[in-house]
Chains A and B, each alone.
Chain A
Amino acid sequence: MSVTTGRAAPSGAAGESSRINATWQEVAADGGLAAPAHHDLALDHTQLRSLYRLMALSRRVDRQAINLTRQGALGVFASSQGQEAAQVGAVFALDDEDWLFPSYRDSVATFARGVDIVEVLALFQGSWHCGFDPYRYRVAPQTTPVATQALHATGLAMAARMRGDPIVALTLFGEGAASEGDAHEAMNMAGVYQAPVVFLVQNNQYAISVPVSRQTRTESIALRAPGCGMPGVRVDGNDVLSVYGAVRAAVDRARAGGGPTLVEAVTYRLEAHTTADDETRYRNADEVATWRANDPVQRFAQTLRDLGVLDDALTAEVEAEGEELAARMRDSLFGAPAGDPREMFEHVYATPTPALNEQRALLDGELSAEGDA
């Protein structure tokens, strides 16, 4: 079963279409946020259905990842629930040859990009730090040191521009990560070199326990954009169509040589920071409930129903696909063997050093002693 990203169905394909509205706020010339502006989106019904499918499957695999963590198949998991619109909407705006630079938070973005979910979860399973081939999917390994991947995105975008390739890099990071020097350096250098990169900040209100008011004194992370010489946009991160529209506009501009954009998607993390976190220590249930009422997956489903794009048949079909995926996750991740520990020596250098060969021999000895015992 392959889950491929959005743009699978070319826009303008024969399918029917509806006028779809997306809304976002740009950073105005005076440095503040402009009033929300409405934009028409050119998405036909086939694309809307793919988007729905990705949103719904994302929720399903995320829920399953949490279950599997509770049952011991994964060591820990950082949920994307509540952030599906931000992640899936942004990835849906990419073309095949573009690159994605995600963090630990962005398993669902990585999945929506087409990476097999079992390969995605290698990181949390502890079978390897990155379970997929970055070149195959044009997705960099999910990073854990926050904001570091933003520089890789800028660098790849600079390289693509030097080569004359019409490629865009999209990087995702949190509002907490936005406080890191690397986030600033990545945006500043992207501005200086007009690198075709889109910075998507998912402001999910908390960096573990610390609220966004401790990350910035301003009303939006997007306000940093003018300081780096790029357009800034703030969008409702729980409205997948608006995220898609804002990111797609940024991607198109970058591809056309117009340089980088900073997009802040205002959203909320519905689950704890990770499965190891106790969210009750820093936020109350009422707040979570308020945001749950603004669930991006349900919201999008409702929009599509109103448009007549989503019916019970499609819902059932996607649900069945989700159950199949969840079952495959269970089968593949439960009791998966740890792999050969000797492999840890293989990927340090292209050619192992003499010291590594010696140490490998030591481990070999330990392993055969264990085998004999």
Chain B
Amino acid sequence: MTVTMAAALNTALRDAMREDDSVVIYGEDVGTLGGVFRITDGLQAEFGAERCFDSPVSESGIVGTAVGMALYGLRPVVEMQFDGFSYPALDQVISHVAKYRNRTRGRVGLPMTIRMPYGGGIGAVEHHSESPEAYYSHTAGLTVVSPGTPGDAYSLLRSALAHPDPVVFLEPKRRYWMKEEVELPVSGEPIGRALVRRAGATATLIAYGPMVATALEAAEAAVAEGWDVEVIDVRTLTPLDLDTLAASATKTGRAVVVHEAPRFAGYGAEIAAALTERVFGHLAAPVLRVTGFDLPYPPAKIEHHFLPGVDRILDAVARALEY
């Protein structure tokens, strides 16, 4: 069947709630309305307002209470309405969600999931197009996941909900309406595994979340240049599957990391450094980064100049090939 990413996420939540009555969902507008992107559509009708309910506008409250619920044995799945509004909850995320297992010397794990629509490209007003993945990935104790396809959205969200540790689940909002032929339920590769989405020999593109589709598009366009580009979908930002990335970089000798977030101290810097440390001898060129610029996310009418597109990616591949 043809499934959008939004529908895949919705189905994953529904299937998990059917299987496990400890799964509860709450957040701003997730109940009656079904979420501003309708990811929780119909869940309150099916499971009742005890298991899928609206919260006050209170991000720290949402995440902080989820800590208490998980401590009590529930599996809370909370929604941050937008990336830019996840920041009020950062203290709870960093000080408690990420640290609880460690603070308690392994006695209390928090099986909870924090979902949020993330990234740009939908013409939104300010604070609705942020890419906060570096904040979360830098925080030890969190598992950070971002799907690039509808099938992965389903299977990774199911894995997140079954995970023994807290997962920050970044949903690329510009891909909510992306379609894929896939039969649900689908079980994909587990959390912690990157995937080769397109095999190639000339260079490696490394992307996650919203940029997976863009990287694949660039790889197709590269054929005209005579380049056979491999595309890797990182899928799990923490823990990073460096083995898969290193194997590809070793094979092609050239790697380019792509993300929407600003470059400086961004997630791409980690990949570039890690690959350089691991497979320096196999690289024919430095690991290059194709990213947003080091500035606050721009207004909607000019955002396409900020976001990495096919041309910026191909330019980087060309530069890598010049070495």
Contact = CB atoms under 8 A, between A and B. Distances in A.
B74 interface: yes
Interface in B20-59: 24, 50, 55-56, 58
Interface string B151-187: 0000000000000110000000000000000000000
Given A188-B56, A354-B239, A141 B68 contact: no
Contact of A188 (B61, B71, B106, B141): B61
Contact of A347 (B69, B88, B106, B192): B106
B252 interface: no
A355 B239 contact: yes
A272 interface: no
A343 B96 CA distance: 19
Contacts of A128: 105
A156 B71 contact: yes
Contacts of B105: 128-131, 343, 347
A225 interface: no
Contacts of A131: 105
Interface residues of A, number: 43
A153 B68 contact: yes
Contacts of A141: 100, 103-104
Interface stretch (A179-187, A205-213, A237-245): A179-187
A192 B28 CA distance: 14
Given A145-B95, A353-B238, A152 B67 contact: yes
Q: SS class of chain A's interface: helix, strand, loop or mixed?
A: helix
A346 B106 contact: yes
A192 B56 contact: yes
Given A134-B71, A348-B141, A355-B239, A155 B66 contact: yes
Contacts of A133: 104, 107
B178 to A, nearest CB: 29
Given A151-B61, A353-B238, A169 B68 contact: yes
A140 B70 CA distance: 12
Nearest to B72: A159
B108 interface: yes
Which residue, of B68, B74, B92, B95, has the highest number of chain A Cβ atoms within 10 A? B68
Interface string B111-151: 00000000000000000000000000000110100000000
A43 interface: no
B284 interface: no
B312 interface: no
Interface residues of B, number: 47
A350 interface: yes
A187 B71 CA distance: 19
B17 to A, nearest CB: 14
A152 B96 contact: yes
A185 B240 contact: no
A148 B95 contact: yes
A129 B64 contact: no
B98 to A, nearest CB: 9
B101 A347 contact: yes
A151 B60 contact: yes
Interface of A: 101, 128-131, 133-135, 140-141, 143, 145, 148, 150-160, 162-163, 169, 181-182, 185-186, 188-189, 192, 343, 346-350, 353-355
28 contacts: A130-B103, A130-B104, A133-B107, A143-B95, A145-B95, A148-B64, A151-B65, A152-B65, A154-B61, A154-B64, A155-B66, A156-B68, A156-B71, A156-B72, A158-B65, A159-B69, A159-B73, A182-B64, A182-B91, A182-B92, A186-B64, A188-B61, A347-B104, A347-B106, A348-B141, A349-B239, A354-B243, A355-B239
Q: State the 3 A-B residue pairs at the shortest beta-carbon distance, nearest first.
A: A155-B68, A151-B64, A155-B65
Interface of B: 24, 50, 55-56, 58, 60-61, 63-74, 76, 88, 91-92, 95-96, 99-109, 140-141, 143, 164-165, 192, 238-240, 242-243
Given A130-B105, A181-B60, A181-B88, 5 more contacts: A156-B68, A182-B92, A185-B56, A348-B141, A350-B164
